[in-house]
């Protein structure tokens, strides 16, 4: 049955959520899109995942701003699906629901000692220095001289780079203020970047790897004893990007340690366990550099370990989950398994395919899912015409506030103003309460002018005005 107006809910206001909304609104069909986000602020990975010293990658938010201006778009911040409203209620209220919830959780590797204090998920550290409210109260011990980062991808590079940069190199970025303050007192002088494979098997981008050659007070190096024969001349390195990366690692292997800090790239080390009494004191590996059957044990003394071995999506109640892949179980974007399809429920982005590709990769992924939605729309069960508005009214009534895109703009302006006084692009609010205080709107549509906040989170609130 064909209807005159379709309502689609998208859950998750990161890149894939915005790209899905854009594809729906440009489809030529009469569609309205409600984009739900657990936090009062949008942009997901761009805000909380991109390293603070990579501001150009954050310029994509200008694209998302334009999408938010498209007719038929609504942003609903502070709406935790599964808490404020169930996924089943959403499905009953919208023609289709697209999950774009990302991959917020780090993958565990299942080794003894993995949960010792001092062993952390890289994703938690990234959230901490980027000001994610869920991570603001985490603590990391930077009192030792050596840290170990396990993983050979770009997130591992981000972690290592933030650990070895000087305070002055970070001061004028949008790094969270609490993180800069703690990192400025760090005693770390050496970071080991450890991976299972050789140089040709790394997933570093050449551009990010190149940055290590220009750090103010850190020299990159390679532990040549880990490498084995012909380490920088692999038959698998036919990809131009890989060749550049391998060439950079080759150059790093000939660098001498002259600056006060060093980032040491290590290869062919398989993690075995983490040892320590009350906290981690040693990471133990098995070296495969000498070949099969000739493995040797390698121990690195450290009180700080970061695991950067992948990410997974958080399960959602009443949504099939593929635990092996760490994504919502789906068939090309349609949620479900063979013979168990969840009608009208879809997925895109990292929660569809895993943490692969760049921010821009999510556009093609979202478009692929939206094509499935458009093909299915006329065959899907019809919700009540006013059901979507009823969902929003219910959420706003339960919260006693309305966090729309105008509310985000107020938060954005306040953060930029705070940053301006510090010579930074912005100084983020790191608590939900502080975010809300800048743009709180009650159920009567009035701007609220006061919330109890700590001194560091107070901001100049806008004058009361209707929205």
**How many CB atoms within 10 Å of residue 75?**
24
Long-range CB pairs of 107-115 (<8 Å, 24+ gap) are 107/307, 107/309, 107/310, 107/311, 107/312, 107/326, 108/307, 109/150, 109/271, 109/307, 109/309, 111/271, 111/272, 111/273, 111/274, 112/273, 112/274, 113/273, 113/274, 113/275, 113/276, 113/280, 114/274, 114/307
pLDDT of residue 45: 95
pLDDT above 60: residue 116 = yes
Query: 283: which 2 tokens?
Result: 């990471």
pLDDT of residue 443: 40
pLDDT above 70: residue 119 = yes
pLDDT above 70: residue 64 = yes
Query: 359: which 2 tokens?
Result: 């921010």
| pLDDT grade for 288, boundaries at 50, 70 and 90 | confident
For 238, residues 6+ apart whose C-beta sits below 8 A from its C-beta are none
Angle at 391 between CA 385 and CA 393, to 5 degrees: 105
Angle at 55 between CA 53 and CA 61, to 5 degrees: 145
Query: What is the chain's length?
Result: 467
Please name the residue that has the structure tokens 């006329």: 378
- The DSSP letter of residue 384 is P
| Contact yes or no for 199/231 (Cβ under 8 A) | yes
Binding residues for FAD: 16, 37, 45, 81, 350, 357-359
108-309 maps to CATH 1.20.58.390: no
**What ranges make up the beta strands (E) of 139-232?**
146-150, 190-194, 218-222
Global pTM reads 0.91
Please name the residue that has the structure tokens 């939206």: 370
Distance (Å) of CA 150 to CA 12, 138, 147, 178: 29, 20, 10, 25
- Asked if domains 6-104+312-399 and 108-309 share a fold, the reply is no
pLDDT above 50: residue 450 = no
pLDDT of residue 179: 98
pLDDT above 90: residue 124 = yes
| Contact yes or no for 310/75 (Cβ under 8 A) | no
Query: pLDDT of 235-266, one tens digit each?
Result: 555 788 888 999 999 999 999 999 999 999 99
Residue 329 φ then ψ, to 5°:
-60, 125
| Contact yes or no for 320/339 (Cβ under 8 A) | no
**Domain residues of the chain, as ranges?**
6-104+312-399, 108-309
**Is 344 in a helix, a strand, or coil?**
strand
| Contact yes or no for 274/284 (Cβ under 8 A) | yes
**Is 423 in a helix, a strand, or coil?**
coil
For 6-104+312-399, give the CATH class.
Answer: alpha beta
pLDDT of residue 4: 61
Query: pLDDT of 357-415, one tens digit each?
Result: 889 899 999 999 999 999 999 888 888 777 888 888 888 888 777 899 999 999 999 99
Query: pLDDT of 299-308, one tens digit each?
Result: 999 999 999 9
pLDDT of residue 292: 67
Binding residues: 16, 37, 45, 81, 152-155, 208, 350, 357-359
Binding residues for NADP(+): 152-155, 208, 357
Please name the residue that has the structure tokens 């004058």: 463
Query: 419: which 2 tokens?
Result: 């940053």
Please name the residue that has the structure tokens 């921010």: 359
**Is 349 in a helix, a strand, or coil?**
coil
How far apart (Å, rounded) are the C-alpha atoms in residues 125 and 131? 10
Mapping DSSP onto H, E and C, the string for 292-318 reads CCCCEEEEEECCCEEECCCEECCCCCC
How far apart (Å, rounded) are the C-alpha atoms in residues 168 and 54? 15
pLDDT above 60: residue 463 = no
């Amino acid at each position: 049955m064909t209807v005159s107006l379709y309502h689609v809910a998208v859950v998750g206001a990161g890149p894939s959520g915005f790209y899905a909304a854009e594809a729906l609104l440009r489809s030529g069909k009469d569609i309205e899109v409600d984009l739900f986000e657990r936090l009062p602020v949008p942009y997901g990975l761009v805000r909380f995942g991109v390293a603070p010293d990579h501001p150009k990658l954050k310029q994509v938010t200008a694209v998302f701003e334009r999408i938010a201006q498209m007719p038929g778009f609504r942003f609903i911040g502070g709406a935790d699906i599964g808490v404020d409203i169930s996924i089943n209620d959403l499905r009953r209220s919208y023609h289709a629901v697209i999950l774009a919830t990302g991959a917020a959780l780090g993958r565990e590797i299942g080794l003894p000692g993995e949960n010792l204090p001092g062993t952390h998920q890289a994703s938690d550290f990234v959230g901490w220095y980027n000001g994610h409210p869920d991570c603001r109260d985490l603590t990391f011990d930077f009192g030792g001289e050596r840290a170990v980062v396990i993983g050979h991808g770009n997130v591992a590079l981000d972690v290592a780079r933030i650990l070895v940069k000087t305070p002055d190199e970070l001061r004028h970025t949008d790094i969270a203020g609490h993180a800069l303050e703690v990192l400025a007192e760090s005693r770390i002088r050496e970071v080991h970047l450890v991976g299972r494979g050789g140089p040709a098997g790394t997933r570093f981008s050449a551009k990010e790897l190149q940055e290590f050659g220009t750090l103010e007070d850190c020299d990159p190096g390679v532990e040549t004893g880990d490498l084995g024969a012909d380490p920088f001349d692999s038959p698998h390195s036919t990809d131009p990007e890989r060749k550049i990366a391998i060439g950079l690692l080759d150059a790093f292997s000939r660098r001498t340690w002259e600056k006060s800090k060093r980032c040491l790239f290590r290869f062919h080390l398989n993690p075995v366990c983490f040892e320590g009494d009350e906290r981690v004191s040693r990471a133990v590996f098995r070296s495969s550099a000498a070949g099969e059957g000739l493995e040797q044990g390698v121990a690195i003394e450290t009180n700080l370990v970061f695991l950067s071995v992948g990410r997974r999506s958080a399960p959602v109640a009443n949504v099939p989950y593929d635990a092996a892949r760490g994504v919502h179980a789906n068939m090309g974007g349609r949620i479900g398994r063979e013979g168990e399809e969840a009608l009208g429920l879809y997925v895109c982005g990292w929660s569809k395919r895993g943490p692969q590709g760049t921010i821009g990769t999510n556009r093609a992924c979202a478009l692929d899912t939206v094509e499935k939605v458009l093909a299915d729309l006329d065959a899907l069960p019809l919700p009540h015409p006013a059901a979507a508005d009823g969902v929003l009214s219910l959420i706003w009534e339960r919260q006693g506030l309305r966090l729309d895109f105008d509310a985000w703009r107020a938060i954005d302006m306040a953060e930029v103003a705070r940053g301006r006084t510090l010579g930074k692009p912005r100084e983020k609010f790191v608590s939900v309460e502080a975010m809300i205080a800048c743009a709180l709107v009650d159920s009567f549509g009035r701007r609220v002018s006061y919330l109890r906040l700590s001194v560091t989170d107070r901001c100049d609130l806008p004058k009361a005005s209707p929205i």
